[in-house]
Structure 1
Amino acid sequence: MPEYYDLDVRFWEAGLESYASSLGFKSICSFSPQGNGIEIKTREEDVRFKKDGKIILVSSDNPETLKKACKRDADMLLFPRFVPDVGLVRAAAENRKPFEIPLSLLLERRGAERAFLISRMRVFLRLCNKYGADFIIASGASGRLSMKSPGELTAVGEALGLSHDQAVKSISMVPEYILKR
């Protein structure tokens, strides 16, 4: 039985780790001031940061910025537009930098906007599979009630076109690799 990880929780509160454990997670990464992760949102082309023992997520709409982050100490990449950029996906695959696929982006949208995002995510994940880039499905939870169980994250991965094994790998083996770096 694999061990599951949610590498994108956007809040921190007392008892959060035990709650995550009750959902079925071995560990989580919180991108809040008290958490163990740092998110760098940037539009600039120069990506500079210090790791300081935390997990680094670089988020940008600019593929060139993310390509540069691939060559630095970034642990994960978030490309919220999910535009199929072959150069970016190849750079991520070569440098073993996984893309984050946050469920919260889907839950924040409604109607046609959600449908278009699902379509772009599916195409982007197909491109990742084609070029061997890793990805992580995460909740992106901003509160306790928006945290999802490993089964729910796996089901969303399957709805996005992944096989069951690929979806499980994206919440177990790939996050474990990031945490052990």
Structure 2
Amino acid sequence: MAFYDLHVHTTLSIGESTPEETIDFATKLGLNGIGMVRYYDGTRLPKKDLETADASMDIVNAVMLKPKNPEELNILATKVRNSAEVLMVHGGDYDVNRAACENQLVDILCHPELGRKDSGLDHICAKAAAENSVAIEVNFREVLESYKKQRVHIIAAMKKNVMLCKNYNASVVIASGAVTKWNMRSPRDMAGLGNILGMDLGKAIDSVSAVPEGIAKQNREKLEGKRWEGVTIVDE
């Protein structure tokens, strides 16, 4: 079983640790793959390949969109989709959250509850996320860097979103959201958070293994021309 953390920031984006430092620490934590996130604002397309010296770690080219509104989200997603192995949306605004859930080009909606008094999702979003294969992220750093009443509120919002995903069969991805290597957590810690939030242990483990690995694998096949909607080319 391979374990993935698809939301990690390095000096390639807003992070403090270099890619090399991040990879080294991820290996020590027992991770097999990490998504190195870079932002796309509509100007310069990120490189498709991330060159690293460590071949033992699966480095996923993850692109984050931070749109101001649903219209901008749709434009940015269309432009960058073929340059990203994983396409993520910076959540928090309800309209953006919903638009991300309704967009088949999006892979992961990150921290939908960020900065909100509610959870950022409702049954409409959860149903759309399931129909469009958009995973909902549980962001470990939100819990890690919050305190007292704020932490209680965040955990309650995450629990609600996990329950919505369970009720409507939407996928959940648990990720560190790390901006330094010290924010990163082991697969066991991340799955443990999922279990605390109400996920069955098996589903919690899937959220740091089968689900993120499957997202990266399917998109790589699409980028290589081996997969279309409902069709996969199998090598002889």
TM above 0.5, yes or no, is yes
Q: CA offset at residue 83 of structure 1?
A: 3.2
In structure 1, what is the equivalent of residue 143 of structure 2? 106
Q: Which runs of 5+ in 1 are unaligned?
A: none
Matched, 1:58 2:58: no
Matched, 1:77 2:109: yes
- The separation in 2 between residues aligned to 1:63 and 1:87, in whole angstroms, is 11
Contact in 1 for aligned 2:8/2:36 (Cα 8 Å): yes
Q: CA offset at residue 124 of structure 1?
A: 1.2
Contact in 2 for aligned 1:101/1:135 (Cα 8 Å): yes
In structure 2, what is the equivalent of residue 22 of structure 1? 28
Matched, 1:31 2:31: no
- The separation in 1 between residues aligned to 2:134 and 2:167, in whole angstroms, is 15
Structure with max Cα Rg: 2
What are the within-5 Å matches in structure 2 for residues 1-181 of structure 1? 2-12=1-11, 13=18, 14-32=20-38, 36-46=61-71, 47=73, 48-49=75-76, 50-51=80-81, 52-69=83-100, 70-78=102-110, 79=112, 80=114, 81=116, 82-181=119-218
Q: Which runs of 5+ in 2 are unaligned?
A: 12-17, 40-45, 51-60, 219-236
Contact in 2 for aligned 1:5/1:26 (Cα 8 Å): yes
RMSD over aligned CA atoms reads 1.8
Report the identity percentage.
28
Higher relative contact order (CA 8 A, sep 6+): 1
Letter matched to residue 64 of structure 2: E
Q: How many equivalent pairs are there?
A: 180
- The separation in 2 between residues aligned to 1:175 and 1:133, in whole angstroms, is 13
Contact in 2 for aligned 1:38/1:55 (Cα 8 Å): yes
- The separation in 2 between residues aligned to 1:136 and 1:123, in whole angstroms, is 15
- The separation in 1 between residues aligned to 2:21 and 2:154, in whole angstroms, is 33
CA displacement, residues 85-132 of structure 1 (integer Å, 9 cap, x when unaligned): 110110000011101111001112111111011011111101110000
- Match of 1:140, SS state, is coil
TM-score, normalising length: structure 2: 0.71
- Match of 2:70, SS state, is coil
